[in-house]
Amino acid sequence: MPLFKEKRSTIEDIYALPDGTRAELIDGQLYYMAPPSRRHQKILLSLSRKIADYLDSKGGSCEVDIAPFAVFLSADDVNYVEPDISVICDKSKLSDKGCNGAPDWIIEIVSPSSRRLDYYTKLFKYRTAGVREYWIVDPDKNRILVYNFESEDTGDYTFSDIVKAGIYNNFSIDFSQLNLDS
């Protein structure tokens, strides 16, 4: 029997944080988030713009949302994340508070403080929650890992490559054409 019981955090704890403090909640554990770097934000803006332009040109119900944007991965109150980029195609999942359930596509831009979460913990969580596609964009390694959970495909790319979005037939991002330097 353990000598102490670790406090399990909930969504209430997220909402009780002081203004400006960002954290994610995974299986009842709070993970505080450091402010993103300038390069992180440039990548976020470039990718979200490309995706939004594509979605706008196609019409339809999908929308792109950028962090800080609340994603409640499950109906319980112990899983709350703020992916860097979320694409949601089911409007019934959206509310004023964010997305209730798994987005169709999530992109995380790795920061030094988020490396373990992005590569391991979130990979498992997103797959289990029903995310269709997950990209890990790692600026320090100039690397993009793509996980298409529907087709069970994975891809490993560099910032010189053209990366196809698996959930869309005719959409890819040419990373070599993006201005991703800091």
Residue 4's pLDDT is 52
φ and ψ at residue 97, rounded to 5 degrees: -85, -15
The pLDDT of residue 56 is 93
Residues comprising the chain, all counted: 182
pLDDT of residue 39: 93
Instruction: Please report the domains of the chain, with CATH numbers, ordered by start residue.
Output: 11-177 (3.90.1570.10)
Q: How much is the pLDDT for 118?
A: 93
Q: In the prediction, which pLDDT does 5 show?
A: 53
Structure token digits, residue 181 = 């330097």
Q: What is the pLDDT of residue 77?
A: 78
Entry pTM = 0.92
Residue entry with tokens 């594509």: 54
Cβ-contact 43, 68 below 8 angstroms: no
The predicted pLDDT at position 40 comes to: 94
d(CA 17, CA 27): 18
Kindly give the confidence (pLDDT) of every residue in the chain, 182 residues in length, as a single tens digit, with 9 standing for 90 and above: 455 556 788 889 989 999 989 999 999 999 999 999 999 999 999 999 999 999 999 888 899 999 999 999 987 878 999 999 999 999 999 999 999 999 999 999 999 989 999 999 999 999 999 999 999 999 999 999 999 999 999 999 999 999 999 988 899 999 999 877 75
CA pair distance 122, 5, nearest whole angstrom: 25
> Can you give the pLDDT at residue 1?
46
Find out whether the peptide bond into 83 is cis, omega within 30 degrees of 0. Answer: no
